[in-house]
């Protein structure tokens, strides 16, 4: 049986990992500055993570939400501490798309309305509601189109925001903490404050998608916390399980929930909670959020010295390095010649940098050097 051919793949078979490094089946070592789309938060094969998962699977790996699962409360207690959203409710699920699907559904249940405001270049997932608020028409099937009205507006365009929010049929605004797939653009502090105030004034549910930018990646637990505003619903995934499929929503208690509104078979299972708990404990114990901020700044300082870089976007260890020309040949040379994984985005001129938050300066500093060497050899050709 052949695999359904969904992704273009590099001919690399990774068989081993540790911290920020990967090894292929020929024992070639790679530096991982991409973490498989920003998933690896505390580092590959972290001993605390391995031990938590091993201990849990020996006891019980899975049972559904029809029984008490005290690990869920332990996870919620740890999250309330780290997220500063202690009065919110936690709903656990399995993937980023599922988190956004449930967030949009809740907003619509809550308001009784259908229209959603989303942003140009957004990416919120591939399932029915999440793909409908994603501004990438090529990933929508005919059955996804026009399920509910969505207006895509420009980030940081205040006039358009006033104009589009000036109706009473909107149930939610959904915005990424920092745009990931779209290319690392983000709302300015003043824009986000204005958006938050307008949502409060008009009773619109503000959903912030922190699936890629959350869990410490930006140098704060959530990227929107660089501004001091609060969302009504925050969606989380990727770094939450360090590779184990764990996702969730933090929900304002003003949004009333009834049994049956949301549900999941796998979400919040014992093993997923054990993985998530060890991630949160490790983020705190090893001060990885502070590390993301510090290493991100050091890297940006180094990158700023490279003249052919047009712009550096993002925050902490969620960075976009933009050139005046296509980034794909750079990405390929970094991988093939320097054995460094980086990522692409919808912006063809941008490299996406999403390393494990545990990366040290010693480990990351080879990247600007490798980049200089790639750019130099491309100029000579
Ligand atoms: C901001 C954001 N939201 C949602 C998703 C969808 O997550 P998943 O692929 O886990 O469904 C992604 C995935 O890249 C994302 O970056």
CATH of the domain at 59: 3.40.640.10
- Whether 35 and 64 share a structural domain: no
Q: What confidence category does residue 177 fall into, taking pLDDT thresholds of 50, 70 and 90?
A: very high
Tell me what the mean pLDDT of segment 2-11 comes to.
Answer: 91
Taking only the tens place, the pLDDT of each residue in 330-356 is: 999 999 999 999 999 999 999 999 999
Can you tell me which atom of ligand 1 is nearest the CA of 98?
Answer: 11
* Contact (CB, 8 A) for 194 and 161: yes
The alpha carbon of 349 and the centre of ligand 1 are apart by a number of angstroms equal to 21
Domain hosting 155: range is 47-285
9, part of any domain: no
Can you tell me which atom of ligand 1 is nearest the CA of 181?
Answer: 16
- Whether 211 and 268 share a structural domain: yes
Tell me what the mean pLDDT of segment 28-46 comes to.
Answer: 98
- Whether 111 and 201 share a structural domain: yes
Which of 95, 207, 224, 237 has most ligand 1 atoms within 8 Å of CB, for mutation?
237
The alpha carbon of 246 and the centre of ligand 1 are apart by a number of angstroms equal to 12
Nearest CA to ligand 1 atom 10: 96
Which of 37, 38, 93, 97 has most ligand 1 atoms within 8 Å of CB, for mutation?
97
Ligand 1 neighbourhood includes 237 CB (under 6 angstroms): yes
- Whether 178 and 85 share a structural domain: yes
5, part of any domain: no
Report the distance separating Cα 337 and Cα 376, nearest Å.
13
Instruction: Give whole-number Cα distances, 218 to 82, 224, 288, 315, in Å.
Output: 14, 9, 11, 5
Ligand 1 neighbourhood includes 37 CB (under 6 angstroms): yes
> Domain end: 219, 252, 285, which one?
285
6, part of any domain: no
pLDDT at 126: 96
99, part of any domain: yes
Taking only the tens place, the pLDDT of each residue in 205-223 is: 999 999 999 999 999 999 9
Two tokens at 71?
A: 């690990």
Q: Tokens 């969505």 appear where?
A: 150
Ligand 1 neighbourhood includes 209 CB (under 6 angstroms): yes
The alpha carbon of 214 and the centre of ligand 1 are apart by a number of angstroms equal to 11
The alpha carbon of 125 and the centre of ligand 1 are apart by a number of angstroms equal to 5
pLDDT, the chain, mean:
97
- Whether 249 and 370 share a structural domain: no
- Please give the sequence-ordered ranges of beta strands (E in DSSP) within 187-317, or none if there are none: 205-209, 233-236, 247-251, 309-315
> Domain end: 285, 308, 328, which one?
285
pLDDT at 120: 98
129, part of any domain: yes
- Whether 163 and 234 share a structural domain: yes
pLDDT beyond 90 at 146:
no
124, part of any domain: yes
Q: Report the domain count for the chain.
A: 2
Ligand 1 neighbourhood includes 97 CB (under 6 angstroms): yes
Nearest CA to ligand 1 atom 8: 96
Question: Of 156, 145, 204, 149, which is closest to residue 179 (Cα–Cα)?
Answer: 156
- Whether 172 and 268 share a structural domain: yes
- Whether 58 and 114 share a structural domain: yes
- Whether 104 and 145 share a structural domain: yes
pLDDT beyond 90 at 381:
no
- Whether 99 and 39 share a structural domain: no
pLDDT beyond 90 at 81:
no
Q: What confidence category does residue 95 fall into, taking pLDDT thresholds of 50, 70 and 90?
A: very high
Higher pLDDT, 210 or 137: 210
pLDDT at 145: 82
Ligand 1 neighbourhood includes 293 CB (under 6 angstroms): no
What phi and psi, each to the nearest 5 degrees, are found at residue 111?
-95, -20
* Contact (CB, 8 A) for 248 and 236: yes
pLDDT beyond 90 at 275:
yes
- Whether 117 and 38 share a structural domain: no
pLDDT beyond 90 at 376:
yes
1, part of any domain: no
- Whether 156 and 261 share a structural domain: yes
Q: Tokens 């005046």 appear where?
A: 324
* Contact (CB, 8 A) for 122 and 157: no
> Domain end: 265, 285, 305, which one?
285
2, part of any domain: no
Question: Of 235, 240, 210, which is closest to residue 223 (Cα–Cα)?
Answer: 210
Please say whether the dihedral angle defined by the alpha carbons of residues 54, 55, 56 and 60, taken in this order, is positive or negative: positive
Where residue 42 sits, what CATH number does that domain have? 3.90.1150.10
Q: How far is CA 63 from the centre of its chain?
A: 27
Which of 36, 211, 218, 247 has most ligand 1 atoms within 8 Å of CB, for mutation?
211
Ligand 1 neighbourhood includes 177 CB (under 6 angstroms): no
Instruction: Give whole-number Cα distances, 305 to 169, 309, 373, in Å.
Output: 49, 9, 13
Q: What confidence category does residue 37 fall into, taking pLDDT thresholds of 50, 70 and 90?
A: very high
Ligand 1 neighbourhood includes 212 CB (under 6 angstroms): yes
Ligand 1 neighbourhood includes 125 CB (under 6 angstroms): yes
Q: What angle do CA 71, 209, 263 make, to 5 degrees?
A: 45
Ligand 1 neighbourhood includes 99 CB (under 6 angstroms): no
């Amino acid at each position: 049986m052949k695999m359904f051919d969904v992704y273009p793949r590099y001919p690399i078979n990774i068989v081993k990992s540790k911290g920020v490094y990967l090894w292929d089946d020929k024992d070639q070592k790679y530096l991982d500055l991409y973490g498989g789309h920003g998933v690896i938060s505390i580092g590959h094969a972290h001993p605390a993570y391995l031990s938590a998962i091993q201990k849990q699977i020996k006891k019980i790996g899975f049972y559904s939400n029809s029984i008490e699962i005290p690990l869920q409360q332990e996870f919620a207690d740890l999250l309330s501490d780290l997220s500063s959203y202690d009065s919110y409710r936690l709903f656990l699920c399995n993937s980023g798309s599922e988190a956004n699907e449930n967030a949009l559904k809740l907003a619509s249940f809550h308001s009784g309305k259908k229209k959603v405001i989303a942003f140009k270049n957004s990416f919120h997932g591939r399932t029915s509601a999440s793909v409908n608020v994603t501004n990438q028409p090529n990933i929508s099937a005919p059955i996804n189109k026009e399920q509910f009205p969505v207006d895509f507006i420009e980030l940081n365009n205040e006039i358009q925001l006033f104009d589009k929010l000036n109706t009473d049929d909107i149930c939610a605004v959904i915005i990424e903490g920092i745009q990931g797939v779209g290319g690392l653009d983000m709302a300015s502090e003043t824009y986000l404050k204005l958006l938050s105030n307008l949502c409060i004034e008009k009773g619109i549910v503000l959903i912030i998608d922190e699936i890629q930018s959350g869990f410490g990646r930006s140098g704060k637990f959530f990227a929107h916390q660089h501004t001091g505003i609060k969302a009504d619903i925050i969606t989380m995934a990727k770094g939450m399980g360090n590779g184990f499929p764990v996702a969730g929503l933090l929900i304002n208690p003003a949004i009333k929930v009834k049994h049956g509104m949301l549900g999941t078979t796998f979400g919040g299972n014992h093993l997923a909670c054990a993985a998530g708990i060890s991630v949160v404990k490790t983020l705190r114990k090893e001060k990885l959020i502070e590390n993301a901020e510090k290493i991100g700044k050091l890297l940006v300082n180094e990158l700023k010295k490279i003249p052919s870089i047009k712009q550096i976007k993002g925050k902490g260890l969620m960075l976009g390095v933009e050139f005046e020309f296509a980034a794909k040949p750079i990405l390929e040379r970094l991988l093939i010649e320097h054995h460094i994984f980086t990522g692409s985005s919808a912006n063809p001129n941008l490299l996406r940098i999403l390393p494990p938050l545990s990366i040290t300066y010693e480990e990351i500093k080879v990247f600007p050097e490798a980049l200089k060497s790639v750019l130099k050899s491309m100029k000579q050709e």
